[in-house]
Amino acid sequence: MGAKGLTIGVFDSGFGGLTVLRELLPLVGDAHCVYLGDTARLPYGSKSRETIVRYALSSARFLQQRGAELMVVACNTATALAIDELRDALPIPVVGVIQPGAAAAADACREQGTTPRVLVLATQATIESHAYARACAALGLEATEKACPLLVPLVEEGWIGEEGDAARASVTAQVLRIYLGEALRDAPESRALLLGCTHYPLLRTEIERTLAELGRPLRVIDSAQATARAVARVLTENGIARGGLAGVCEANRALDEVGEATCEFFATDSVRKFKRLGSRFLGRPVGEVQLVDLGG
Amino acid sequence: MGAKGLTIGVFDSGFGGLTVLRELLPLVGDAHCVYLGDTARLPYGSKSRETIVRYALSSARFLQQRGAELMVVACNTATALAIDELRDALPIPVVGVIQPGAAAAADACREQGTTPRVLVLATQATIESHAYARACAALGLEATEKACPLLVPLVEEGWIGEEGDAARASVTAQVLRIYLGEALRDAPESRALLLGCTHYPLLRTEIERTLAELGRPLRVIDSAQATARAVARVLTENGIARGGLAGVCEANRALDEVGEATCEFFATDSVRKFKRLGSRFLGRPVGEVQLVDLGG
């Protein structure tokens, strides 16, 4: 038995949240996932708290109207700045990406012994909120936070190793050397590196390569994976998925049979661009995408 | 006599349009300029036509409500995709940045003899609209259009020669070598380079340096300057500024006396960020900025 018939809402400012959906799908049985990319108003990461709260609330309300019984805030910026407002406004469980990411980082650091310190890479707005530092502190973990505003445009433009040409990929490598070099100088005792933006899993190979070049091969933690596991736990705890997490995983077989039919995609801007870019993040083709106007 | 008492509306998705306002101020006497940066919804350059038209109309209507009697669309993307809709919707003269930029490029190419071909750098949305190619063709000029989506984030992050450190500036130089190298391979006979995005004047020195390195020191045309002159002409032609362009320029003395009082700034997102980033584009401190909610 899985989360049969359950509708899970997942939203992000754009495509990045599809890395969370990608990890989520194998864990939630035959649930129906409704994804919204608020692409007309992206990026959230460079905007103010007030604006991000307003955008996150309208995105979440849209998904609730589409039947969501559990909400995944698959956007670090929206989680950092609007999770409390979302929990106040919605009568359903709300799972963000920050607490699960911080918990996974704490586990990884503890495995490696003392001085639990993690380096968190994220957008400007996420970093300025210090949401990761607070979530880590609550788990006895010290966080060094580093804003990396150019990584999202570099990922969206595909200036990445395998996709881009060598000259383009070397620009991304140079940007990573600047960001990681500065961050590791500020926090030489870091034990792990947490990807605090849903775009960054697409740079994981490049980040690991740069860490090795800098002589600091930190363990890289992907909050998308940690968030997917947290959602599965919420389903279990709420008795939505009978048989616990194992049961949820078992139900994955049913999901394979149902296939693409369990996902529905909405975007507030060009559906053509969403299909093209989104497939890169989801790791498989995005099917039908419906345009929605949130009044922005 | 200048454009006394006249209110001029100027809008952009963000800060870039301030490069147009900067060129405009010395030419419009004691007019009152009301600037709106639609920062809550920036960037326009990566979004769809439908979304850009909707945003441009709401920005322009706001400025009209604030008394604008002439509208300057100080955003290449909004001009490229929404100028017709803006002219249909507004009962006042509307000046965009594309036609003046194309005319200045045509003049520059003609000065240099035959094969009039210009290279246009702009955002993805502006390039995909082919608005520059059409405006140039109408003037007997062939345009090669090159989308440079990473230049706006690099400018906004200040990864520029004088402002950034050497490592950051070298990233921007490498990105320019990639974009300009590709563009000049595609259009080796280009005679001039047109900056088709209001962010790009801040990269003018770097662009000229890269062109020299590539052995192609093309003349660089700034559409912000050309647009400012076009606005002054519209004022003259409409009899708003008596005494023609010379009279408008003469009235500049009055403007110097009035000083900052002739500008009013609005932004749809963080006014703090607008002040900080905006000053870089305006070339002098941006004073008071008022937050406005366009419902996005």
In a domain, A130, yes or no: yes
Which of B223, B243, B261 is the last residue in one of the domains? Answer: B223
In a domain, A247, yes or no: yes
Which of B223, B246, B266 is the last residue in one of the domains? Answer: B223
B201 and B232 part of one domain: no
In a domain, A132, yes or no: yes
A59 and A149 part of one domain: no
Smallest Cβ–Cβ distance between B40 and the set A47, A156, A178 belongs to A47
A56 and A172 part of one domain: no
A132 and A198 part of one domain: yes
- Position A245 scores a pLDDT of 38
**A269 contacts chain B (CB < 8 A):** yes
User: B96: helix, coil or strand?
Assistant: strand
For B177-193, how does the pLDDT look when each residue is reduced to its tens digit (9 = 90+)? 999 999 999 999 999 99
| CA dihedral for B173, B270, B288, B74, sign (positive or negative) | positive
- Position B246 scores a pLDDT of 40
- Position A38 scores a pLDDT of 96
Q: Between A43 and B172, where is the model more confident?
A: B172
B117 and B177 part of one domain: yes
Judged against a pLDDT cut of 90, whether residue B144 lies above it is answered with yes
Annotated active-site residue in B109, B136, B148, B197: B197
Q: Tell me, what CATH number does A127's domain have?
A: 3.40.50.1860
**B276 contacts chain A (CB < 8 A):** no
Q: Between B291 and B248, where is the model more confident?
A: B291
The residue range of the domain holding B72 is 7-96+224-291
Please give the average per-residue pLDDT across A4-15, as a whole number: 90
For B67-103, how does the pLDDT look when each residue is reduced to its tens digit (9 = 90+)? 999 999 999 999 999 999 999 999 999 999 999 999 9
In a domain, A1, yes or no: no
For A136-175, how does the pLDDT look when each residue is reduced to its tens digit (9 = 90+)? 999 999 999 999 999 999 999 999 976 568 999 999 999 9
Strands B7-12 and B70-73: parallel
User: B159: helix, coil or strand?
Assistant: coil
β-bridge partners, B289: B265
B279 and B165 part of one domain: no
A92 and A108 part of one domain: no
Residues of B in contact with A269 (CB under 8 A): 47-48, 51
CB A52 within 8 A of CB A82: yes
Please give the average per-residue pLDDT across A175-199, as a whole number: 95
Q: Name the burial class of residue A150, with classes exposed (0-12), middle (13-18) and buried (19+) by CB atoms within 10 angstroms of its CB.
A: buried
How far is the C-alpha of B64 from the C-alpha of A9, rounded, in Å?
39
Which residues does B194 contact at the CB level (< 8 Å), separation at least 6?
A: B101, B102, B104, B105, B118, B119, B120, B121, B132, B143, B221, B223
- Position B165 scores a pLDDT of 87
A16 and A163 part of one domain: no
Percent of chain B with pLDDT over 70: 89
In a domain, A2, yes or no: no
What is the count of residue pairs from A and B with beta carbons less than 8 Å apart? 69
Which of A164, A189, A223 is the last residue in one of the domains? Answer: A223
B210 and B240 part of one domain: no
A123 and A211 part of one domain: yes
pLDDT category of residue B252 using cuts at 50, 70 and 90: very low
B83 and B228 part of one domain: yes
Mean pLDDT of chain A: 88
B126 and B181 part of one domain: yes
Q: Name the burial class of residue B242, with classes exposed (0-12), middle (13-18) and buried (19+) by CB atoms within 10 angstroms of its CB.
A: middle
pLDDT category of residue A109 using cuts at 50, 70 and 90: confident
How far is the C-alpha of B84 from the C-alpha of B94, rounded, in Å?
9
What's the number of domains chain A is made of? 2
- Position B161 scores a pLDDT of 76
- Position A164 scores a pLDDT of 60
How far is the C-alpha of B43 from the C-alpha of B46, rounded, in Å?
7
For A64-105, how does the pLDDT look when each residue is reduced to its tens digit (9 = 90+)? 999 999 999 999 999 999 999 999 999 999 999 999 999 999
Q: Which amino acid is at B284?
A: R
Indicate which of B77, B129, B175 best probes the interface with A, i.e. most A CBs within 10 Å of its own CB.
Answer: B175
